[in-house]
Amino acid sequence: MTMVEMVFVGCFFLGLAYAVISAIFGGIFGGAEGGGEGGAEGGHFDIDHDIVGHVDTDGSSDTGTIHFSPLSPVIVAMFITAFGAMGMVCLKVFKWSPYPSMAVAVLTGLVIATITFIIFTTIFKSTQGSSEAILADMIGKEAEVITTIPADGLGEVAYVSRGTRYTASARAAQKNEIKSHSVVIVEKIVGNTFYVKPTEGAKVL
């Protein structure tokens, strides 16, 4: 096996191995997710400030930017896999010399990586729209405190939107401690953090 063949074979299996490992461990979307998150009963719901943006108190949405890099590990892995596969096809099937094979392999890798990038970007835009709608729906709505919210710290609330129960980090809008199991009103949402105030009769200090 020549050096060029070893490069093509190595690239193919390296990219393929990464894709398989990513699929097994659920890391395919790791290049775009951020730190904000909320859990859904029976599922999981991730919200990132850079993806969802800011939802003001009047319910209007100031959309953030989708951050899915063209140099993310998934895109690079797709390029490497396509490069290796097409390189071997050119060498073994078409019997081309190394340099033309490498040129076509690079071009193919770029095309596959570009298509993958477009697909993932489209998916994230769709996810963003859905997340924004869920958050916007909660402005002025009730939620339940499931982890006590300190006067100047983070707690956690649970809320139901469109028939699904979610959880989210929460702060007290009026800087007062709100005990768990209290019912609160969502005043505004910044990133993935709910700013809430207690309803009448809620447990506050």
- For the chain, the average pLDDT equals 78
Residue the block writes with tokens 């392999």 = 105
Q: Please report the pLDDT score of residue 1 as a whole number.
A: 75
Whether the pTM exceeds 0.75: the reply is: no
Render pLDDT for 35-76 as a digit per residue (tens, 0 to 9).
Answer: 334 444 433 333 333 333 334 434 443 434 445 678 888 889
Q: Where are the domains of the chain?
A: 3-32+68-137, 36-66+139-205
Phi–psi pair at 116, nearest 5 degrees: -60, -40
- Stated as kind and residue range, the H or E segment containing 193 is strand 193-198
pLDDT tens digits, residue range 180-189?
999 999 999 9
CB neighbourhood size of 35 (10 A): 11
**pLDDT tens per residue, range 142-197:** 999 999 999 999 999 999 887 888 899 999 999 999 999 999 999 999 888 999 99
**36-66+139-205 classified as CATH 2.10.70.10:** no
Interacting residues of 68 by C-beta distance below 8 A, sequence separation 6+: 31, 32, 117, 120, 121, 124
Contact by Cβ (8 Å): 19, 77? yes
